[in-house]
Amino acid sequence: MRKVNLLLMVMAFAATFQGCQQADDKGASAPIQINNELTADEISKGILSPEVLWKFGRVSGAEVSPCGKMVVYGISRYSVPDNKGVTNLFIVDVDGGEPRQLTDNAGSEFDAHWRPDGKRIGFISTRGGSAQIWEMNPDGTNMVQVTNIEEGINTFKYAPSGDRILYTKDVKFVKVTGAEIHPDMPKSTMKVYDNLMARHWDHWEDGAYSHIFVADYTNGKVGAGKDIMEGEIFEAPLSPYFDAADITFSPCGKMIVYACKKQYGRDFAVSTNADLFLYNIETGETKNLTEENVGYDKYPAFSPDGKMLAWQSMETPGYESDKHRLFVMDLATGTKQYLTKNFDQNADQITWSADGKFIYFISGIKGTEQLYKMDPQTLEIAQITTGKHNYSWFGFGNGALVAQKMSMSMAAELVRVDEATGADTQLTFTNKNIYENIKMGEVQERWVKTTDGKDMLVWVILPPNFDATKKYPALLYCQGGPQSTVGQFFSYRWNFQIMAAHGYVVVAPNRRGVPSFGQEWNAQISGDYSGQNIKDYLSAIDDVAKESWVDADRLGAVGASYGGYSVYYLAGMHNKRFKAFIAHNGMYNFESFYAATEETFFPNHDFGGSYWDKENKVAQRTFANSPHKLVQNWDTPIMVVVGENDFRIPYTEGLQAFNAAQLRGVPSKLLMFHNETHFVTKPQNAIIWQREFFGWLDQWLKK
């Protein structure tokens, strides 16, 4: 199965890896042993450590029952000795109470959905070997497998009418391997390509494409699936994240709307032109609903009466981080309306109210993610929640909103939100035993003046048991993306609290190029990688370094992806501010990156074009300011981290940087993770990553 971990979708091409991940148990095996209890030593120290971080239960995949009284959700837990994890399903009442565990550790259960009648819960499980649909009663009893689809499925949904399901699975189209092309050479491991994209994010293309199948369904009986994309060399949901929210049934169950980028090869690599397609199950006809828009169209949502369709749209072709516009369409007339034209923020997780009178969504504002409500008739928008936190999912239950909430100091949990006041009541306490014994550092909101007179939000995270009479080393955190907010996320790798727990003041600026501060702030970075955002980084660290409790002679800079590029660039022009650097999967040589990355639309937009386009002044300025052209100035210890299966920013970028540092005699270290991608996700690798991370910083900043 080529499906990319769905949880990476929130921070795509940002090296934060926030939230929880689907456990990597891909088949039936003996139950793994999970131990989330803290040791006496961990309790005695009372601070966050790499080992404690992997004892967190990670909440995901919530859905409210049709009656609105219960929520089914998943918790992923990990066994470090087994080096893998498992996801189990739980249920909790919307009005509160003790959560009940529904499944055991025999396999990973995820993608849970209530059957429309509320009598059963369907989910995908690997306990039978391949990923199949299973069902159980809401109390976890009478668990049975309801599909046996060859090679398994990726995701599924019930039709609201209750008489159909849809599921996605990979369909083989193109012969790629040497053994397929030359049957007389069955042991050949070569692959043959004659078009882009040969590889994507974390896998070499294998000639298979995710397709949508629809099947009749009656009381646990699933009929033969019909491929509604038969013969098409395209994928749905959209790759590389394969988010099931890209596909939806109409309320009557007779239509499916799905997002798809119906392009192939080079066209696919250079474009973001994804459209919404309406498939009529009864006639078999497919209609493009958004043909006129040449940017992304995705995440369709039917109104309860099925007459209107809402979705998220991006206008600019090739710009993956353009404004997330909220559109609606009258399906009878085809009339479309841009609802958030005068709203300088994004609209995500678009959901209609039960009566169809309002549209709810999540939007980023000043480094947080909050819940909003819109009247599509008056275009009036009301912010429901405020505070220092991120909401990442919500639904409706029993007269309230049910949501998933996190912050830099708290991993994701489910809460009930009073719409009238915005106040929330916590429903789940997955990691209570950890919070009772581990002290978190204070998170401060700080506004810093930039060199061009703007106000920039900088999060400052102080060590636990902070003492203002002492001096602490400080870390400048460089965000990935580049268009990715430094929000109130709880990361399981780039975790600010674990950095603070190691005795560092963390300086995390929302520099130019991040969302939630208006479109001008977000868009400025494109074509200006070496410009204002770099100045913003320096403004942030220089401002905090003035504090009496920061040792300005012990500053470090760390980051991944675009943050890794930022570290490489700063290494060549920081004017001796920093005493140590760590760059993870960053761009080092723009020309080699451009020629090796797979989603070519990204550098075409953000760099301004290709390096061989000599008439393109924006592109030529970008390539002229590649970090490798400043390597002659490197004089500060640097650690480079790469994943061999990272095809977004190939590991050779980091290898070039490490080799250059070594040849220049700069103290340097290379961490090569042979079985990791753009992210380090396996428990033992992740713990080693943290140990090496702090070992390097302590060596150079705590002398």
Task: Supply the residues annotated as catalytic.
Answer: 561, 646, 678
Are the beta carbons of 513 and 533 closer than 8 angstroms?
yes
Say how many residues make up the chain. 703
Which residue has tokens 């995270």?
Answer: 461
User: In the structure encoding, which two tokens stand for residue 512, read together?
Assistant: 């130019």
Are the beta carbons of 504 and 475 closer than 8 angstroms?
yes
CB proximity list for 475: less than 8 A, separation 6 or greater: 499, 504, 505, 506, 507, 555, 556, 557, 558, 697
Are the beta carbons of 480 and 513 closer than 8 angstroms?
no
Q: Give the residues across from 222 on adjacent strands.
A: 217
Separation of alpha carbons 696 and 669, rounded Å? 9
Separation of alpha carbons 481 and 560, rounded Å? 9
Are the beta carbons of 298 and 259 closer than 8 angstroms?
yes
Separation of alpha carbons 515 and 388, rounded Å? 16
Give 49-105 as a 3 state SS string.
CHHHHCCCCEEEEEEECCCCCEEEEEEEEEECCCCEEEEEEEEEECCCCCCEECCCC
Are the beta carbons of 438 and 48 closer than 8 angstroms?
yes
Say whether the peptide bond before residue 482 is cis (omega within 30 degrees of 0). yes
DSSP H or E stretch at residue 643: strand 638-643
Rounded to an integer, what is the distance from CA 326 to the centroid of its chain? 20
Separation of alpha carbons 295 and 313, rounded Å? 7
Task: State the amino acid at position 145 in one-letter form.
Answer: Q
Are the beta carbons of 507 and 486 closer than 8 angstroms?
no
H-type helices in 396-531, by residue range? 432-435, 496-501, 519-523
Separation of alpha carbons 123 and 134, rounded Å? 5
Give 128-161 as a 3 state SS string.
CCCCEEEEECCCCCCCEECCCCCCCCCEEEECCC
Say whether the peptide bond before residue 300 is cis (omega within 30 degrees of 0). no
Is 638 exposed, middle or buried (CB count within 10 Å of its CB: 0-12, 13-18, 19+)? buried
CB atoms within 10 A of CB 610: 16
User: In the structure encoding, which two tokens stand for residue 202, read together?
Assistant: 């974390």
H-type helices in 529-681, by residue range? 532-545, 562-571, 590-596, 601-606, 617-624, 652-663
- Give the DSSP letter of residue 324: -
User: In the structure encoding, which two tokens stand for residue 193, read together?
Assistant: 């390509």
CB atoms within 10 A of CB 104: 13
Separation of alpha carbons 201 and 146, rounded Å? 32
Separation of alpha carbons 355 and 652, rounded Å? 54
Q: What is the CA radius of gyration of the chain?
A: 25
